[in-house]
Amino acid sequence: MRREVKQMFARPLYMFASAGVMLLSTFFFLTLMKQGAAEKMPVAVVDLDQSSISRRLCHEMQATPSVDIRLTTNSYPEAREAMQQGHIYGIFVIPEGFYSDLVAFKRPNVDFYVTNAYTVGGNTAYKQMLTMVNLISGAFQREVLRKKGLPDDVIMHRIQPVAIEGHMIANPWGNYSIYLVSTILPGILGLICIILTIFAIGFELKMRTSHDWLRTAGGNYTVAMIGKLIPYTLVYIILGIGCHLILYRFAGFPVNGSHARLMFGLLLFIFAMEAMGIFLIGCLPTLRDAISIGALYSMLGFSLSGFTYPVMNMLPAVQALSYLEPLRHYYLIYVNEALMGAPVENSLVPAFSLCAFMVASLMVAPRLHRALVYQNYPLK
């Protein structure tokens, strides 16, 4: 172990790299999504009517928090081109004669177009335009009813006899940052763990210094392994706790369950990623191959954990694959603890699954031990 600490400090690059990458990503993702919810998405209005009511409509739309009218034009092709250039996410078309048709009860048709090539922008623009169309309709009904001499509060209930109250559990602001960053950052930490673990062991193999390493440990594989990994593990734990504190204390992400259990889940996840690192280098004792596979494996974890696209909706074979990713299990613990405030039983299965990854690292022990002793592997 002492030897490893010395080695670790002799090559400060790795520690610097891991802590640096972690800090940089934390800083990057927290500042990137500082605003949380998508606001002021640019849209275009094609105003073919040019009446007082269409202009008022534009004003009201501009006053809403989620859209920003970047372009007011009377040519649809112009708006369409702006969309193809990525300047706007939605087009709202007010037809010619809108106002006169409306008062003549001729039911003028309003069109709106959104792009799905950019999901978040398109969705936000869509929701807002849908609300706007219903508001137009409501405003017009109000005018008609007023002329019939009805009081305003009576009118209001006529216009909207049913209302939906939406409750977004644990994230009432619909904050994107909470939703994405709380899985991405642990994922990056896990990626660092797996790569550095592979590196720490693989470097001995690459440099053919494994005999020296084993000798220091008195020829005992277990002692050698534990001694080697303790200093790294300490660093990961510090990074993990730091990551937890930054997200849930400083950035103020909600935790409805227990902080301790969530943090414990993160630590188990870190150990599982380390164990997978040992497993990979044990299977593939060539440093560069193991690192490439480790990188591929941990990158897929982000998609397979299901925090953007639900696992429930994946093909059955892919669903099965998702259980091979520690990040999936951490995400389940996170949903239970941070979002749902679920009882501890719910987190037991993912927690035990994370422990199962550690067993995988024991399975390769004989093979890895042989590799350390005989150095019988290709160097390249």
**DSSP code, position 95:** P
Q: Of 137, 112, 101, 103, which is closest to residue 46 (Cα–Cα)? A: 112
Total chain residues near other proteins (CB under 8 A)? 125
Q: Which of 26, 43, 61, 112 binds other proteins (CB under 8 A)?
A: 112
Angle at 81 between CA 49 and CA 73, to 5 degrees: 25
CA distance 223 to 209: 16
Provide the token pair at 95: 């037809």
Residue of the chain from 5, 15, 69, 170 that contacts other proteins (CB under 8 A): 170
Q: Which residues does 360 contact at the CB level (< 8 Å), separation at least 6?
A: 275, 276, 279
Considering only 58, 110, 283, 358, the residue that binds other proteins (CB under 8 A) is 110
**Cα-flanking dihedrals φ and ψ of residue 91, to 5°?**
-130, 135
CB of 179: closest distance to other proteins in angstroms?
6
Interface with other proteins (CB under 8 A), residue from 314, 355, 363, 365: 314
Whose Cβ is closer to other proteins: residue 345's or residue 374's?
345
Distance (Å, whole) CA 93 – CA 112: 6
Instruction: Name which of residues 26 to 55 contact other proteins (CB under 8 A).
Output: 28-29, 31-35, 38-42
Q: Where are the alpha helices (DSSP H) in 246-336?
A: 259-283, 287-304, 316-322, 326-334
Contacting residue, 100, 134, 209, 222, with other proteins by CB under 8 A: 134
Which residue in 7, 66, 341, 358 binds other proteins (CB under 8 A)? 341
The residue within the footprint of other proteins, chosen from 168, 260, 374, 376 (CB under 8 A), is: 168
Q: Which residue, 190 or 282, is less far from other proteins as judged by CB?
A: 190
Q: How far is the CB of 171 from other proteins (least distance, A)?
A: 4
Does position 58 interact with other proteins (CB under 8 A)? The reply is: no
The strand order across the sheet containing 67-73 reads: 67-73, 41-47, 90-94
With binding defined as CB under 8 A, does residue 205 bind other proteins?
no
Assess 75 for contact with other proteins (CB under 8 A). no
Positions 89 through 108 that interact with other proteins (CB under 8 A)? 89, 91, 98, 102, 105, 107-108
Give the shortest CB-220-to-other proteins separation in angstroms.
27
**Could you tell me if 281 and 229 are in contact, meaning their C-beta atoms sit under 8 angstroms apart?**
no
Minimum distance, C-beta of residue 366 to other proteins, in the bound complex (Å) = 25
What backbone phi and psi angles, to 5 degrees, belong to 70? -85, -25
Task: Give the binding range for other proteins (CB under 8 A) out of 58-66, 235-243, 327-335, 356-364.
Answer: 327-335
**Residue closer to other proteins (CB basis): 260 or 296:** 296
* CB of 48 or CB of 363, closer to other proteins: 48
Neighbours of 257 (CB within 10 A): 22
Residue 257 CA: distances (Å) to CA of 280, 281, 350? 34, 37, 16
Choose which of 46, 196, 217, 247 interacts with other proteins (CB under 8 A): 196
Shortest spacing between CB 219 and other proteins, in angstroms: 28
Q: Which CB, 204 or 217, lies closer to other proteins?
A: 204
Contact 215, 221 (CB under 8 A): no
**Residue at 199: amino acid letter:** F
Using CA atoms, how far residue 95 sits from 47, 102, 112, 310, 377, in Å, is 7, 11, 11, 40, 73
Contacting other proteins within 268-307 (CB under 8 A):
287-289, 291-292, 295-296, 298-300, 302-304, 306-307
Nearest CB to other proteins, comparing residues 217 and 339: 339
User: For residues 293 and 299, what is the distance between their CA atoms, to the nearest angstrom?
Assistant: 10
Q: From the list 10, 85, 218, 260, which residue makes contact with other proteins (rule: CB under 8 A)?
A: 85
Beta-bridge partners for 90:
43, 114
The tokens for 377 are 């592997």
Q: Taking CB under 8 A as the criterion, which residues in 175-194 touch other proteins?
A: 176, 179-180, 184, 188, 191-192
